[in-house]
Structure 1
Amino acid sequence: MHRAGAIGVLAPHVGGTYYGSLVASVGAAAQLHGRRLIAIQTLDAGAEMAVNGGNPEFTDPVSWDHISGFVAFADAANRDYLTRITAAGKPMVLVGTTVAGLECPAVLADNGAGMRAAVTHLIRHHGCRRLAFTGFRDASDIEERYQAYLDVLRAHDLEPGPFLPAGNNVESGITWTAGDLLRLGPFDALVAGTDRNALAAQRVLAAAGRRCPDDYLMTSFDNLDLAGFVRPELATVAQPLDAMSRLAVDLLLQRLAGADVPAEPQRLPARFVPRTSCGCTDFAETLPDLAADDARQRLGHRLASVLPADARSAEAAGRAAKLTADSLDAAAAGDPGGVPAAEEELNALLTAAPAPETLRVLSLAVQEYATGLRPGEGLATGRLDRTVQDIMMFLGRAHSRLQLGDQLHLRSLISVNYTLSMALLHRRDADPRDPSWLSLTGATAGSLALRGADGELVRTPGWRRFDGPAIPAGPTTVESFPPVEMLDAAGPEETIFVVRAKVGDSDRGWLALVDRAEHRVDDGRELVNQSAALLTAALDLRDQEEQLLRAARSDRLTGLPNRSSFAESLEAAIARRDAYGRPFAVLFLDLDGFKLVNDTLGHHAGDTLLVCVADRIRQCLRDEDVAARFGGDEFLVLLDDVSPGPVLDELIARLGAAIAAPYRLGDRSARIEVSIGWADCTAGSTVEQLLQDADSSMYRAKAARAATIAA
């Protein structure tokens, strides 16, 4: 069990290619220090990723009782919420953003250096002279990238090209059109603030008849996984997400330990990745020139280029470079025994950065080093060529396994999503309030805090995949959710995720589950987010079904059960009478004088009177009794466990007196009487017979009343 307080992560989404990678890296760093990680999604379940500057609707102090300090990602929450965290004495480190007026450390990619490298590449290597920019400049990191773009243009005595504003950092932010492009004039290259802006911009330009890289060149920022798969491959700047996350955790733990960590940004180097879209059409066959003359040093630089620029990555790349160089040297001399160890180190690099770009660089780097070893024609050359070929085949198979693993993983997610949808939305035997439906996912524990009619949160009984202390039900606060029993259920490499079960105007509470971070799907499409959205939809659907059922079984005016519903209750009472001998009686009530009220005071007054009568009937009955509106001004009552005698007589008298008391209808008063008949169940009784007998008894009572009045 972890003893220290948990580290909290605030993210718009808690999974996906960008935020999921950050969460996974923070989790790995937290694990090294023996800390739990609680990842809190600040967007509602199922929300699209279009937040800029923080989600102003996120105000809840989720899990604050468990969390010692926070790592907050860009666009997770606004300044007011982040200020509340620091005011509560919880240290915080920002990642990917800075917030004006907030005194806390921030870890950023070197936006300026990365963008300067990209823009310089377009100008020096491809001769671009008019470069346009598109991006959401209200975001601080995009503004930094834009200013770096301007700096490079000024350094080369170039005027800025057209600025094409974006409304956010994703595809939906590109709202300019082909007509805007015609008005602004042609450009050699388009620099995009983010990869997703770039992809949308490409589509707009294609609709205008302009193709990349034939008609213009393009670079962007982020190096998402899809950047290497789209056509043309997207030249972009890679952010060191893993290193940023690890540094953020280190800074946070230093602050928790009382160290004086400066409240200022710390920047990590970003790396420009040239591809087809920037005009490097031969990028797949060549590597950029390096100044290093030493072959081993050059190999080390090549291998390090596929990983984040930090000490741990440099150590892994150095180890792989040494073993690879040693194995190739030995193979050229006739000893291939070191190749398997080199292959494993190269595979570790490929696994750490599983992209086509990594496979390309590793393969070309190995071939480049081997080319420098050529011992001349003959047996040694053949041995070296076979060794290089073996390494190439090994890397190809390893990359294929990784791709197959991704395909199988995505196929599994699709299958789980389908199964989960069917269970929550279509199966009547699955209760959404019971989190055991999480067994259909990869989660290992789950808890729900659902909002009641009074707005208060109540936990339902939790669920665990493996044996351990039960996750209890009971009232809760958002500060103490999820319960400690669920936190203790998290394994060493697992994260506790908390997502608000809110879609649109429907706010059902909170879902918490224990699982591994998901970073192989788009942001917002991960199973944690989808589970919360499906839970919300399922709870809404059940409520709607219950409302429709109540409407079908209830009298719309009085809210009492209707005739068909009363018949079902009567059938159940008959079954109990036949099975256990439990007696009951049926009353038939008909209002005397109701028509006069309706005719003299109007139908609205008559409806009000019926509602009042229904309320008085309810007040006279016991919990086990059932009242219903038969129709018009007639009512039915089922008196459970009652036989003819004093109890029945007393109940009938009480009903009669209550209904006969005066009514206030607006500024008028009214009085009515009631005729009540009854029937008791005997062997062989049917619903129709009991209703007919009670109806006949009521008419006899009405006739007796009329005779009394006439006399």
Structure 2
Amino acid sequence: MVDAGALGLLSPFVGGTYYGSLVAGVAAAAELHGRRLIAIQTLDAAADLAVTGGDPGFDDPVAWDHISGFVALADAVHPAYLARLAQAGKPVVLVGHTVAGMDLPAVLSDNGAGIRAVVTHLIREHGCRRFAFTGHLGASDVRERHDAYLEVLAAHGLEPGVFLPAHNNVESGVGWDAADLLRHGRPDALVAATDRNAIAALQVLAAAGLDCPDDILVTGFDDIEEARLLRAELASVSQPLDAMGRRAVDLLVGLLDGAEVAPGPYVLPTGFVPRSSCGCVDFAEQLPTPAADDDGVRLLGARLAGVTPEGPGARAAELTAHALAQAAAGDTSAIGAAAAELQTLLTGSTDPDALRVMCRAIQEYADEMPAADAEAATRAGAAVQALVLSLGRAGAHAQLGDKLHLRSLISVNYTLNRALLHRRDVEPQDPSWLGLTPATAGSIALRRSDGRLSRTRGWRRRPGPMIPPGPTSDAAFPPVELLEAAQPGETVFVVKAKVGDSDRGWLALVDAVESRVEDGREMVNQCAALLTIALDLREQQQRLEREAQSDRLTGLPNRASFVASLESAIARRRTESRPAVVLFLDLDGFKRVNDSLGHHTGDRLLVCVAERLRHCLRREDVIGRFGGDEFLVLLDDIAAGPELEDVVERIATAIGSPFQLGDEAVHIGVSIGTAECGPTTTVDHLLQEADRSMYQAKDARRVAA
């Protein structure tokens, strides 16, 4: 069964504060269009956060049977993969990057405008004249930012300053030190291409004893959550990540519906957010300034809408203005409705500064309100205080929700670690352990030694059709039954179960997008990493157990393992009256071979003897190496008599045939003793009897010779 109507998302990670925001926008837009979304992580489970240009190693056509078209984020896949998608007739819309030589629709943030705003602000507001820039020019968006940086400096007649190359877009990419920065004197400002590059730069500066902003100003790009938590708060450029994801889906669905969609680019606006790292010591969020014909309510609406462009800013402004006017007149009944609308606006915003912006906008509007008298002004001020306190409580409630959510994730991770890595009753290949996570369904496809995939039976939290096991392929995974398990607000995630060199296959699960944790640390990624490690550990444990029970040279069960099998046979003999016989074998002439031709040849001879014994006996017979040139055989369901004599003769004939070891033809013999298991037999007694019988056989061979 194939469903090719889903949309695919290719992303280095499928959650986190940055990628998660993009994934959330794509998922929301796909749902509006009535399409399922399969979000595919192109980096291995537990991969490093540093990504550059896409991993050429990701070349699997995962979920291609289900997906009609793809949204590809920057650094998700190598251009060669995009070319394969084009050959397969699957349209692609890029987000955050362009690819040379490929005319694809690309949704971009306005990198140039964002950096132009940064550099212009530093020049005009803070008098900066000497600059430095750090970033990874291998990324197309960073090149755009660097070009805009040079453009503004040239327009102001300033030198381009020091360029400090970064190896990637995260902290690990900054490999330069303060001496590199200061080689032409100390710059007034350092412009970083990404916030994470900027964070690393601030650490370099601090290690060299340089303070930001007193000694040097620093700016970033992306406006990640950590930016406002640093000291100094990092000035940055915010990107409309959610809107970029939504726009990409609109374009992709248009392509799938046969609409004319130009290659692009489709550029969405960015916004510069001044903070203390650029010298703005006061809260510097630039609220919209009034136009000549703006009234106060419309301006308030514009300022409130700024915290969430698709939110009900105008309605919140109207209710707030009405509540303040009524309060000034002595009627506080409208404050509750205004507070509720403002709280809805705040909780729907992804802007980390939303609370401060909204409070400031309300206060500024109230300051401009005409007051009939001092008492009216006091009543309006009390209403402002009530609204601000209401927003503060909503913000605190949201923070508490985030705190509890992260605490819950820590608890889930701890429980998962214990279950998968320490509990022997939990089978990693059975995805029912996903019940410990927020996921609602899951499926695992394991890669066999021949490279083929085999799907284990799936798991689902809610009632519904079984997710069956069976052979599968990269293109057919995840199964249709898993896709159908996804409900509104949920996304199908696929992550390669690969850590280092260990490639176990794929994990797919159904869950909501996680955007409140670090990129690459979301639950689905952790689950795939733990699955891989758990499977590795189980395999390692099984190998160690086999080695502990096996003879290293011949691969036969060793003495301890054979004794355990013998104990089981004795127990069965007591309850089921089933006969059993033990054979004790000692090779005749082995010492001569070992002494004359060397231990290496002697070892090869023992391996050959073990192989002949396997061919002489039944699959259910147990063969063990007792030590040296002695072997043991347990024959179940055989008693003393003609059948046993035939087995002994067959073994003697096989061992007595010459062995060709390289250029040497080696002849040896074997002495075989037997002991029959009785109802009261012990292991020691049985082995002693077999050993005594073997020596009797050996003496008889000497007499006969």
TM-score by length of 1: 0.97
SS in 1 for 2:233: coil
Query: How far did residue 327 of structure 1 move?
Result: 2.4
Query: How far did residue 125 of structure 1 move?
Result: 1.0
* 1:210 alignment partner in structure 2: 210
SS in 2 for 1:369: helix
Alignment of 1:522-561 (within 5 A): 522-561=518-557
Q: Give the whole-Å Cα distance in 1 for the aligned partners of 2:684 and 2:26.
A: 70
Q: Give the whole-Å Cα distance in 2 for the aligned partners of 1:285 and 1:496.
A: 38
* 2:697 alignment partner in structure 1: 701
Query: How far did residue 151 of structure 1 move?
Result: 1.0
Query: How far did residue 496 of structure 1 move?
Result: 0.8
Query: How far did residue 33 of structure 1 move?
Result: 1.4
* 1:302 alignment partner in structure 2: 303
The change in CA–CA distance for 1:670 and 1:556 in structure 2 (over 3 A counts) is same
Query: How far did residue 329 of structure 1 move?
Result: 2.6
- Contact 1:354/1:402 (CA < 8 Å) preserved in 2? no
Query: How far did residue 429 of structure 1 move?
Result: 1.5
C-alpha deviations, 1:635-658, integer Å up to 9, x for none? 011111111222222222221211
Q: Give the whole-Å Cα distance in 2 for the aligned partners of 1:643 and 1:505.
A: 51
Which of 423, 443, 446 is the matching residue for 1:447?
A: 443
Q: Give the whole-Å Cα distance in 1 for the aligned partners of 2:511 and 2:461.
A: 11
In the alignment, residue 616 of structure 1 is paired with which amino acid?
A: R
Q: Give the whole-Å Cα distance in 2 for the aligned partners of 1:266 and 1:245.
A: 12
* 1:266 alignment partner in structure 2: 266
Give me the CA root mean square deviation.
1.6
Query: How far did residue 149 of structure 1 move?
Result: 0.7
> How many aligned residue pairs are there?
704
Query: How far did residue 290 of structure 1 move?
Result: 4.5
Alignment of 1:304-453 (within 5 A): 304-308=305-309, 312-313=310-311, 316-453=312-449
The change in CA–CA distance for 1:90 and 1:113 in structure 2 (over 3 A counts) is same
Query: How far did residue 155 of structure 1 move?
Result: 1.4
Query: How far did residue 436 of structure 1 move?
Result: 1.1
Q: Give the whole-Å Cα distance in 2 for the aligned partners of 1:512 and 1:4.
A: 17
In the alignment, residue 707 of structure 1 is paired with which amino acid?
A: V
* 2:630 alignment partner in structure 1: 634
1:678 counterpart = 2:674:
yes
Q: Give the whole-Å Cα distance in 2 for the aligned partners of 1:376 and 1:156.
A: 50
The more displaced of 197-206 and 147-156 is: 147-156
- Contact 2:213/2:232 (CA < 8 Å) preserved in 1? yes
1:157 counterpart = 2:141:
no
* 2:184 alignment partner in structure 1: 184
Q: Give the whole-Å Cα distance in 2 for the aligned partners of 1:355 and 1:72.
A: 24
* 1:96 alignment partner in structure 2: 96
Q: Give the whole-Å Cα distance in 1 for the aligned partners of 2:374 and 2:181.
A: 60
Query: How far did residue 130 of structure 1 move?
Result: 1.0
C-alpha deviations, 1:520-550, integer Å up to 9, x for none? 0110111111111111111111111111111
Percent identity between the two aligned chains: 64
The change in CA–CA distance for 1:330 and 1:4 in structure 2 (over 3 A counts) is farther
Alignment of 1:107-256 (within 5 A): 107-256=107-256
Which of 614, 618, 642 is the matching residue for 1:618?
A: 614
C-alpha deviations, 1:76-100, integer Å up to 9, x for none? 0010011101110111100001111
Q: Give the whole-Å Cα distance in 2 for the aligned partners of 1:239 and 1:286.
A: 16
SS in 2 for 1:617: helix
SS in 1 for 2:353: helix
* 2:40 alignment partner in structure 1: 40
In the alignment, residue 536 of structure 1 is paired with which amino acid?
A: T
1:492 counterpart = 2:485:
no
- Contact 1:4/1:34 (CA < 8 Å) preserved in 2? no
- Contact 1:4/1:35 (CA < 8 Å) preserved in 2? no
* 2:604 alignment partner in structure 1: 608
SS in 1 for 2:443: strand
In the alignment, residue 340 of structure 1 is paired with which amino acid?
A: G
* 2:22 alignment partner in structure 1: 22
In the alignment, residue 53 of structure 1 is paired with which amino acid?
A: G
Query: How far did residue 301 of structure 1 move?
Result: 2.3
In the alignment, residue 591 of structure 1 is paired with which amino acid?
A: L
The change in CA–CA distance for 1:43 and 1:469 in structure 2 (over 3 A counts) is same
SS in 2 for 1:184: coil
In the alignment, residue 295 of structure 2 is paired with which amino acid?
A: D
Q: Give the whole-Å Cα distance in 2 for the aligned partners of 1:39 and 1:15.
A: 10
Q: Give the whole-Å Cα distance in 2 for the aligned partners of 1:629 and 1:467.
A: 53
The change in CA–CA distance for 1:366 and 1:205 in structure 2 (over 3 A counts) is same
Q: Give the whole-Å Cα distance in 2 for the aligned partners of 1:661 and 1:14.
A: 64
SS in 2 for 1:89: coil
SS in 1 for 2:181: helix
- Contact 2:2/2:65 (CA < 8 Å) preserved in 1? no
- Contact 2:4/2:65 (CA < 8 Å) preserved in 1? no
Query: How far did residue 273 of structure 1 move?
Result: 0.8
Query: How far did residue 332 of structure 1 move?
Result: 2.5
Q: Give the whole-Å Cα distance in 2 for the aligned partners of 1:184 and 1:427.
A: 60
The more displaced of 392-401 and 218-227 is: 218-227
1:595 counterpart = 2:596:
no
The change in CA–CA distance for 1:242 and 1:675 in structure 2 (over 3 A counts) is same
Query: How far did residue 4 of structure 1 move?
Result: 6.7
Query: How far did residue 341 of structure 1 move?
Result: 2.7
Query: How far did residue 255 of structure 1 move?
Result: 0.3
* 2:453 alignment partner in structure 1: 457
Q: Give the whole-Å Cα distance in 1 for the aligned partners of 2:63 and 2:599.
A: 55
- Contact 2:106/2:265 (CA < 8 Å) preserved in 1? yes
C-alpha deviations, 1:195-235, integer Å up to 9, x for none? 00000000001111111111111211101111111111111
Q: Give the whole-Å Cα distance in 1 for the aligned partners of 2:26 and 2:107.
A: 13
* 1:57 alignment partner in structure 2: 57
- Contact 2:4/2:66 (CA < 8 Å) preserved in 1? no
In the alignment, residue 348 of structure 2 is paired with which amino acid?
A: A
SS in 2 for 1:590: strand
In the alignment, residue 502 of structure 1 is paired with which amino acid?
A: K
Q: Give the whole-Å Cα distance in 2 for the aligned partners of 1:589 and 1:3.
A: 63
List runs of 5+ in structure 1 lacking aligned partners: none
- Contact 1:135/1:193 (CA < 8 Å) preserved in 2? yes
- Contact 2:135/2:168 (CA < 8 Å) preserved in 1? yes
List runs of 5+ in structure 2 lacking aligned partners: none
Q: Give the whole-Å Cα distance in 2 for the aligned partners of 1:340 and 1:436.
A: 46
Q: Give the whole-Å Cα distance in 1 for the aligned partners of 2:290 and 2:141.
A: 30
Q: Give the whole-Å Cα distance in 2 for the aligned partners of 1:344 and 1:107.
A: 35
Query: How far did residue 333 of structure 1 move?
Result: 3.1
* 2:572 alignment partner in structure 1: 576
